[in-house]
């Protein structure tokens, strides 16, 4: 078990939103934190010349820069205990219309960026035989909805890589917690949103849905407070073990519950067909590919 308040944290994407809220709360209570951003001028909300706070340039698409930030962090604090893979962007538009460049950018940041940070920190966690990754997926990592196909694809990827990482690193005492926020009041659908080409004649319902989503994000009563999310994440990091998935907010909770019901209902419907394949399941080759633990 890791005590989140005595741990050393590294957080990506601290210029705004969840990353900023997490870094600010850790710094405020004296917890050691390496707050990272593409541009450290955006970290002015954190104190300078304070022993427990370090600021570092980190672009998740730049492996050399990540290595330099991690080296600085370990030189400064001697170890890293919790890595928050928070940095992310949202590409919005119908699957057909989002450009190949936008799709690539979505995956470069949300998926390959996370792989880059994991590659740079996993050796340290394995050597220490402890550590916690807090990987930001989304409620869109559980359910995909119109206009968020590309974003959801990236967050489903985060869910998949995180599940495998949890299993692979378990023998080293390293854990993974996936965070699944619903709508929160950050720059995600604000200045940082990336808009796919808008062809309303082709996909009128999709763009109506986008307008509805913008209304939700513009209404402070309908979006969560990232400071409350940061509190919940820091708290859950101290659970033994941390939750495998942490949905944040009613929308996320409801979406996952609906997804479970839909999966169950589909499975019931196709079960006879699936079973009709007639292969003989050997005791060594179960539905979990032979895993027995
Ligand atoms: N807000 C929501 O409703 C919501 C819901 C579910 C999940 N999420 C997820 O929450 C995470 C944080 O987003 P947010 O909501 O806090 O939005 P945000 O306010 O837009 O923050 C995103 C952060 O990611 C950083 N970033 C973008 N590209 C980067 C890169 N290449 N390298 C390093 N940092 C980069 C941004 O830095 P710059 O200032 O340099 O661009 C910013 O600090 C994301 O993974 C997002 O997908 C958000």
- Domain of 209? 8-275
DSSP string, 78-91: S---EEEE-----E
Has residue 283 been placed in a domain?
no
C-alpha 289/C-alpha 241 separation (Å) is: 25
Q: Domain with 219 in it: what CATH number?
A: 3.40.50.720
The pLDDT-based confidence of 278 (bands split at 50, 70, 90) is confident
CB contact set of 152 (below 8 Å; sequence gap of 6+): 138, 140, 141, 143, 144, 145
Has residue 1 been placed in a domain?
no
Question: Looking at residue 287, what is its pLDDT?
Answer: 57
CB contact set of 3 (below 8 Å; sequence gap of 6+): 238
Has residue 41 been placed in a domain?
yes
For residue 151, which atom of ligand 1 is closest to its CA?
47
C-alpha 207/C-alpha 95 separation (Å) is: 12
Is 90 exceeded by the pLDDT of residue 292? no
C-alpha 181/C-alpha 198 separation (Å) is: 26
Report the domain count for the chain: 1
Is 80 exceeded by the pLDDT of residue 286? no
From 60, 88, 225, give the residue whose CB has the most ligand 1 atoms within 8 Å, as the site to mutate: 88
Residues with CB under 6 A from ligand 1: 12-13, 15-19, 37-39, 42, 58-61, 86-90, 109, 113, 136, 138, 181, 183-184, 186-188, 192
Distances in Å between the alpha carbon of 22 and those of 115, 232, 264?
21, 10, 36
**Antiparallel, parallel or unpaired: β 91-92 and 82-85:** unpaired
Is 70 exceeded by the pLDDT of residue 283? no
pLDDT tens digits for 168-215? 999 999 999 999 999 999 999 999 999 999 999 999 999 999 999 999
Give the CA count within 13 Å in the CB-facing half-sphere of 153. 19
CB contact set of 222 (below 8 Å; sequence gap of 6+): 183, 216
**DSSP 3-state assignment of 151?**
helix
Percent of the chain with pLDDT over 90: 93
Has residue 290 been placed in a domain?
no
- In this structure, the chain runs to a length of 293
Has residue 102 been placed in a domain?
yes
pLDDT tens digits for 211-268? 999 999 999 899 999 999 999 999 999 999 999 999 999 999 999 999 999 999 999 9
**This prediction's pTM:** 0.95
* CB of 73 closer than 8 Å to CB of 54: yes
Question: Looking at residue 285, what is its pLDDT?
Answer: 56
Q: Which residues are catalytic?
A: 151
Of 37, 50, 147, nearest to 90 by C-alpha is 147
Q: Whose CA is nearest to atom 34 of ligand 1?
A: 13
pLDDT tens digits for 12-52? 999 999 999 999 999 999 999 999 999 999 999 999 999 99
CA of 17 to the centre of ligand 1 (A): 7
């Amino acid at each position: 078990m890791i005590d989140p308040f005595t741990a050393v944290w590294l957080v990506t994407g601290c210029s705004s939103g969840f990353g900023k809220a997490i870094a600010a709360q850790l710094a405020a209570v004296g917890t050691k934190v390496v707050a990272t951003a593409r541009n450290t001028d955006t970290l002015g909300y954190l104190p300078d010349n304070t022993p427990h706070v370090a600021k570092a340039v980190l672009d998740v698409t730049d492996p050399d820069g990540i290595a330099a930030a991690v080296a600085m962090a370990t030189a400064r604090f001697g170890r890293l205990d919790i890595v928050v893979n928070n940095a992310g962007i949202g590409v919005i538009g119908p699957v057909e219309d989002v450009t190949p460049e936008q799709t690539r950018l979505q995956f470069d940041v949300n998926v390959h960026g996370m792989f880059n940070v994991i590659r740079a920190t996993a050796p340290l966690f394995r050597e220490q035989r402890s550590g916690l990754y807090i990987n930001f997926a989304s409620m869109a990592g559980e359910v995909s909805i119109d206009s968020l196909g590309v974003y959801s694809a990236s967050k489903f990827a985060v869910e998949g890589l995180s599940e495998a990482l949890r299993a692979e690193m378990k023998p080293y005492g390293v854990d993974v917690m996936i965070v699944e926020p619903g709508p929160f009041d950050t720059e995600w659908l604000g200045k940082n949103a990336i808009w796919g080409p808008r062809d309303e004649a082709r996909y009128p319902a999709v763009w109506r849905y986008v307008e509805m989503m913008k209304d939700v994000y513009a209404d402070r009563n309908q979006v969560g407070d990232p400071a409350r999310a940061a509190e919940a994440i820091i708290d859950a990091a101290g659970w033994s073990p941390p939750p495998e998935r942490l949905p944040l907010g009613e929308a996320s909770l409801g979406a996952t519950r609906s997804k479970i019901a839909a999966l169950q209902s589909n499975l019931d419907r196709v079960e006879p067909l699936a079973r009709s394949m007639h292969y003989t399941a050997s005791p060594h080759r179960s539905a979990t590919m032979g895993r027995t633990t």
